[in-house]
Homo-oligomer: A and B are copies of this chain.
Amino acid sequence: MTITLEKTLFDELEQIVLIDPHTHINPHAAASTTLADIMGYHYYTELAHSAGLEKAKIEEERLDPKTKVGRLVEKLCDLDNTIQVNWLIEMCREFFGFTDDRITTDNWEALYDSASQKMSEENWSQQVLDKSKLEKVFLTNDFDDKLEGFDTNVYVPCLRTDDLVFHFLKKSVRNRLNAASGIDVGDATTFREAIGKLFAHFVGKGAKACAISIPPHFSPTKVDAGSAAAVIKRTVKGQRLTTVEQEMLSSFVFWTITEYCSEHSLPFDLMIGVNRRVYEGGVYQGQDLFDKRVSLIQYKQLLNAFPNVTFPISVLGSTSNQELVSYSWIFPNVVTNGHWWYSNIPTYIETDTRSRLEAVPRTKQIGYYSDMYKLEFALPKFRMYRRVLAKVLATDFVTGRNWTEEQALALGKQILRGNVETIFKVSSQ
């Protein structure tokens, strides 16, 4: 009975039209043009490399897309157990008429060609949006993105702030800030003005959130004005900073950005826990890992200082989920946000989903985002999430607590879609 119920709920959840609140979509090339765009996603290149495919074979210069796909396909037999390859099969079946259950050295070429043909249709990205029931897709824009040439009502801008917070020591980043803001940053005051310009630009273009990914050791603190002024001055002069000064610089930039989030009522997505370049010999975007020794207590000062800023928080490690549940349960300004990266597999999604639904107000949970680079990924990723959500609603709510199917479904809808609207203040089309 529970199985039938799960199926019913899943089918209903599949009907919901989505707003995807976090992606890395390039709005000028939102959908894929060849299978290499899909299989070039770091999940596949890094898994193939992990299973033994040399990096040089994947990242060879001037490698044509078809050859690349051919090489990756040879490794798929070692990866077919992974949920990521499951997404791949599901995409091929849904979008390209693929009917087999494995992609092999025998059948890939036909698939490659039929996919290319399909993707070359004029309205391909719209087809993908329609088939995936995607209404809007949040972007993650560089701070100096002009945000022009696309429909910001569908591709919703979001200000990514990693470079500003963690790489402001780099001259290239400072130059980009000067250029984007039209302000020659020379001290803390002009720095603040420049950041203000970015916010004005983004908000003017309909941005609905700020976002940042953060290493495990970081703990933002308020830096006093004098120290901030000194450290900004030294930075713009190109002087070396001590480790303590670098932390101070990051904290000051972070704090300033949060102040503007407050001023503009923008939620600030915190994606906590990633160490960059841990595996230096890894493929593009396949080098980052984590240190689970991180705690949300590191954000105590921040969460107390900005009661008006909503922080949708993602954690990289499953061991951080209970802290996230507890902090969301206590802090009005903390919201649970999806299932990020290494936690984005059904085993962890299930435990995380169950615990959040048991202890966090239903208005404060953003169920899922795809984190995708190409539009085709939303369908299988959200479907994976919907399967888990249907299971939890069936087992814990309908069977376990005697909720009606309608009540369970209403909860599911709110988690999947409703809260995205209310938390990010996006209105339905």
A297-B275 contact, Cβ under 8 Å, with A287-B330, A361-B47, A364-B50: yes
Chain B residues whose CB sits within 8 angstroms of the CB of A339 once the complex forms: none
Are B323 and A317 closer than 8 Å at their CB atoms?
yes
Complex CA distance for A307 and B300, rounded to whole angstroms:
38
**Nearest chain B CB to A315's CB is how many angstroms away?**
11
User: Which chain B residue lies CB-closest to A89?
Assistant: B401
Complex CA distance for A390 and B173, rounded to whole angstroms:
53
Are A282 and B50 closer than 8 Å at their CB atoms?
no
Are A81 and B347 closer than 8 Å at their CB atoms?
no
User: Which chain B residue lies CB-closest to A332?
Assistant: B50
Chain B residues whose CB sits within 8 angstroms of the CB of A278 once the complex forms: 297, 300, 330
Near B by CB (< 8 A), chain A positions 285-310 give 286-293, 295-297, 300, 303-304, 307
Complex CA distance for A176 and B423, rounded to whole angstroms:
49
Are B359 and A83 closer than 8 Å at their CB atoms?
yes
Near B by CB (< 8 A), chain A positions 398-418 give 400-402, 411
**Nearest chain B CB to A21's CB is how many angstroms away?**
19
Count of chain A residues near B, Cβ 8 A: 74
Complex CA distance for A364 and B279, rounded to whole angstroms:
17
Chain B residues whose CB sits within 8 angstroms of the CB of A150 once the complex forms: none
In this assembly, does A319 line the interface, its C-beta being within 8 Å of a C-beta of chain B?
yes
In this assembly, does A218 line the interface, its C-beta being within 8 Å of a C-beta of chain B?
no
Mark each residue of chain A from 255 to 281: 1 if its CB lies under 8 Å from any CB of chain B, else 0: 000000000000000000001001111
Complex CA distance for A280 and B327, rounded to whole angstroms:
13
Specify which of A79, A303, A347, A400 lies most central, judged by the most chain B CB atoms within 10 Å of its CB.
A347
Chain B residues whose CB sits within 8 angstroms of the CB of A297 once the complex forms: 275, 278, 289-291
Are B330 and A358 closer than 8 Å at their CB atoms?
no
Near B by CB (< 8 A), chain A positions 324-382 give 325-332, 342-343, 345-348, 351, 354-355, 357-364
In this assembly, does A246 line the interface, its C-beta being within 8 Å of a C-beta of chain B?
no
Are B329 and A361 closer than 8 Å at their CB atoms?
no
A289-B355 contact, Cβ under 8 Å, with A79-B362, A322-B348: no
Are B52 and A332 closer than 8 Å at their CB atoms?
yes
Chain B residues whose CB sits within 8 angstroms of the CB of A358 once the complex forms: 81-83, 345-347
A355-B347 contact, Cβ under 8 Å, with A297-B291, A300-B278, A319-B292: yes
Chain B residues whose CB sits within 8 angstroms of the CB of A46 once the complex forms: 329-330
Complex CA distance for A195 and B345, rounded to whole angstroms:
43
Complex CA distance for A354 and B350, rounded to whole angstroms:
12
Are B363 and A78 closer than 8 Å at their CB atoms?
yes
Are B396 and A329 closer than 8 Å at their CB atoms?
no
In this assembly, does A51 line the interface, its C-beta being within 8 Å of a C-beta of chain B?
yes
Complex CA distance for A387 and B331, rounded to whole angstroms:
30
User: Which chain B residue lies CB-closest to A55?
Assistant: B332
Complex CA distance for A360 and B47, rounded to whole angstroms:
8
Are B343 and A347 closer than 8 Å at their CB atoms?
no
Specify which of A51, A343, A359 lies most central, judged by the most chain B CB atoms within 10 Å of its CB.
A359
User: Which chain B residue lies CB-closest to A321?
Assistant: B318
**Nearest chain B CB to A410's CB is how many angstroms away?**
10
Specify which of A50, A51, A295 lies most central, judged by the most chain B CB atoms within 10 Å of its CB.
A50
Near B by CB (< 8 A), chain A positions 81-137 give 81-84, 86, 101
User: Which chain B residue lies CB-closest to A280?
Assistant: B304
Chain B residues whose CB sits within 8 angstroms of the CB of A86 once the complex forms: 401
**Nearest chain B CB to A380's CB is how many angstroms away?**
12
**Could you list some 21 contacts between A and B, CB below 8 A?**
A50-B328, A50-B364, A51-B363, A52-B332, A79-B362, A83-B358, A83-B359, A101-B402, A278-B300, A279-B330, A282-B331, A287-B330, A289-B296, A292-B295, A292-B323, A317-B323, A318-B322, A319-B319, A319-B322, A345-B355, A347-B355
New A-B pairs, 19, CB < 8 Å, besides A81-B357, A346-B400? A47-B361, A51-B361, A52-B332, A81-B397, A82-B360, A86-B401, A275-B297, A278-B330, A282-B331, A291-B297, A293-B295, A319-B322, A322-B348, A342-B359, A345-B359, A347-B351, A347-B354, A347-B358, A348-B355
